[in-house]
Structure 1
Amino acid sequence: MATKDNEKKKSLARSLFMSGMEMTEIAAKVDVSRVTISKWCNADGWKEARAAKNITRPEL
């Protein structure tokens, strides 16, 4: 049960991160520590994904 709950939190956290929200805000909203958000971010490449999302075609 806890794993499924964590996956939901992680998914929500990723969505919030991709929309530009700060890690501390996400941690408070999702009810996990900022360190947990940071670990998820680093492990799953969220920063790179967010950066890639913001690059326009001419910049490529």
Structure 2
Amino acid sequence: MAKDPEINRRVDQVEEIIDQLDTGDVSLEKGEELHKEGKALLNKIREQLNEDEGTILEIE
């Protein structure tokens, strides 16, 4: 459960990135930077969820 706030924080960051990209007011370079940052955050979220899933399966 201690990791939940971290996942929530990362999801919030991804949502902020999406909002920035949706405005259309970002330069191409900034858009690429935001895209890379968002992808990295999503990968970290997936890794964390996969780790937690393994933990849950071990308990069952």
In which range does the TM-score fall when normalised by the shorter chain? 0.3 to 0.5
Larger radius of gyration: 2
Higher relative contact order (CA 8 A, sep 6+): 2
Q: 1 or 2, which has the higher helix percentage?
A: 2
TM-score, with length taken from structure 2? 0.39
